[in-house]
Amino acid sequence: MRSWVEVSLSTIRQNYRAVRGVVGAAAEIMPVVKADAYRHGAVEVSRALEQEGAGWLAVSNVEEGVALREAGIGARILVMADFLGDPLSGESGWLQEYNLTPVIHSLNDVAAARVPYHLKIDTGLGRLGTRAAPEDIVRAVAAGKAPMEGLMTHFASAANYASPQTEEQIKKFEIVVRALHAAGLAPRYIHSSATIPVAYRRRPAWGNLVRPGHAIYGYVCPVRGPAPAAALQVRPALTWKAAVLAVKDLEAGALIGYGGMHRAERPMRIAVLAAGYADGIPHRLSNKGSVIAKGKLAPIVGAVSMDLTTIDATACLELRPGDAVTLLGSEDGVSIDAQQIARQAGTISYSVLCGISARVKRVFVE
């Protein structure tokens, strides 16, 4: 194999249990498995989570939900972002046929819904969700033909404890919750929290259902401001490797990569890896990222190209063609995780994980 990821399903299970250990009986857990489970493999990850007792899973669109159903996943599936065809009108039949639960974002869609749904309130993110007044929401839900099973929102600044935005969003959301309760329309599920409010025990944000995504895959983003200590400990479940295609010695002054981006300051040994930006290595790691080769950090030299990346292998002379290096993961006590890569590449860890190309083979291990 040129480049592959190894996904530890036992680590996925352990991370789910860690979330369960934090929330206890206060809330059900709805792991987010959209975007092919953040490129970890949605079907296999969903099976592992279902075995651990997850009664809900969250996806982005109907196609993702259908794929899970066709693979035999039986948990409830919430479709959070968009739909296939026009399922709210009942014409496509996808939601009914595959027992998928849609998130509705506007009061017009409440009127058109023919299956139980979760209604999303835009409390300040400025993205999907209704911004209607509480009395208008109550009126639309009461007039709708399908039952509203859940009410949800999404936080914009959960990791920033120096900002009042999360507290403001909680208050706006609670006003809608109270209005629905007062009208006898209390939804069964109330949910707002992804990983951060769970990890830092922001209990008022939980409702009775939480939606961890990043934590399931082993990450909790750092927070800013006067936050409490993190209560959640998880481990990355994905290791990314690439094969060495060639090893060669270069003289001092040799140029490496497109545009001669790197000039060897001394005689050096380089190794050419079978992975590039088409596989998901950020191009911004050119001349500044690192990989792990034979248990040692080896700098990326020159430009990351579409299919190949070159590293300085001078410190690991035993490296040979056919050997594997670690792009993301741990080896002999040396680690590189998605958050480290993100800092170097000027992006976020979600983007690093989701950026691993579909052409990179997935291998599932316990």
The residues annotated with a catalytic role in the active site are 34, 258
Long-range CB contacts (within 8 A, 24+) of 179-187:
179/134, 179/135, 179/137, 179/138, 180/137, 180/138, 180/141, 180/151, 183/138, 183/142, 185/138, 185/141, 185/142, 185/148, 187/118, 187/119, 187/148, 187/149, 187/150, 187/151
Residue type for position 76: R
Tokens of 344: 């170097």
Q: How many other C-beta atoms are found inside a 10 Å radius of the C-beta of residue 1? A: 11
Please list, in sequence order, all residues whose beta carbon lies within 8 angstroms of the beta carbon of residue 178, skipping any fewer than 6 positions away.
none
DSSP conformation letters of 282-309 = -GGGTTT-EEEETTEEEEB-S---SS-E
Cβ proximity of 213 and 32 under 8 Å: yes
Q: In a 3-state reduction of DSSP, which class is residue 171?
A: helix
Chain Cα centroid distance, residue 270? 34
Minimal CA–CA distance to 290: which of 342, 264, 327?
Answer: 327
H-only helix segments in 71-133: 94-97, 107-112
Cα of first residue to Cα of last residue in the chain, in angstroms, is 20
The contacts of residue 342 (CB under 8 Å, 6+ apart) are: 348, 349, 351, 352
Q: At what angle do helices 42-51 and 9-23 cross, to 10 degrees?
A: 50
Under 8 Å between Cβ of 210 and 198: yes
H or E element in which residue 245 lies:
strand 238-250
